[in-house]
Amino acid sequence: KEKADEKRERERKAEIERVAKEIEDRKAERKFIEKEKADEKRERERKAEIERVVKEIEDRKAERKFIEKEKADEKRERERKAEIERVAKEIEDRKAERKFIEKEKADEERERERKAEIERVAKEIEDRKAERKFLVKEKADEKRVRERKAEIERVAKEIEDRKAERKFIEKEKADEERERERKAEIERVAKEIEDRKAERKF
């Protein structure tokens, strides 16, 4: 009977130990599962953060690309307008030049006619009175010639002044364009530095 009692006691203790071990195993298993779930959650959050940062970087790149495209479009528009203005000025200059040439030709034609008239009158003059009248007319013609030459010189100077003024305006525009490009380059470099800082921080 004693031996039977000892055997039952050993079996009872063994059963208790088995149950206790099973409970510990289940606790360890639950703890492991909870840790796995926590790890998976952290992994998902890490991936979500990576995706968010990547998307933010892509959005910034797209925004910069759009801004650069806008600036390029504005620059092309300014260049197009400047080209239109240049062509319009060139057309005006050519018109003025043609008008000046036509006036020159008309003046030359009148000069030839005047000379022909002088020659005709000179041949008809036989006395001193007619000669004095011719000399008076010649002086008046010389005055008109001087006035015509002075007018030609004034118009030529005015054309040169306009050309110099346009050249100065074009230089001013080129200087402004270089300044805008310099500022755009500074902004681009600053944005690139900010992006690199954000990337290193990440």
Q: Is the pLDDT of residue 126 over 80?
A: no
Cα end-to-end span (Å), the chain: 75
pTM over 0.95: no
Residue with tokens 């018109």: 95
CA gap 193, 199 in Å, rounded: 10
Lowest average pLDDT, out of 44-48, 116-120, 198-202, goes to 198-202
Tell me the pLDDT tens digit for each residue of 21-35: 999 989 999 999 999
The whole-number pLDDT of residue 197 equals 83
Tell me the pLDDT band of 131, cut-offs 50, 70 and 90: low
CA gap 46, 148 in Å, rounded: 89
Residue 61: Cβ within 10 Å count: 12
CA gap 22, 2 in Å, rounded: 30
The whole-number pLDDT of residue 61 equals 92
The whole-number pLDDT of residue 89 equals 93
Tell me the pLDDT band of 3, cut-offs 50, 70 and 90: confident
Residue with tokens 């005709």: 120
Tell me the pLDDT tens digit for each residue of 146-165: 998 999 898 889 888 889 98
Q: What are φ and ψ of residue 127, in 5° steps?
A: -120, 170
The whole-number pLDDT of residue 198 equals 83
The whole-number pLDDT of residue 38 equals 93
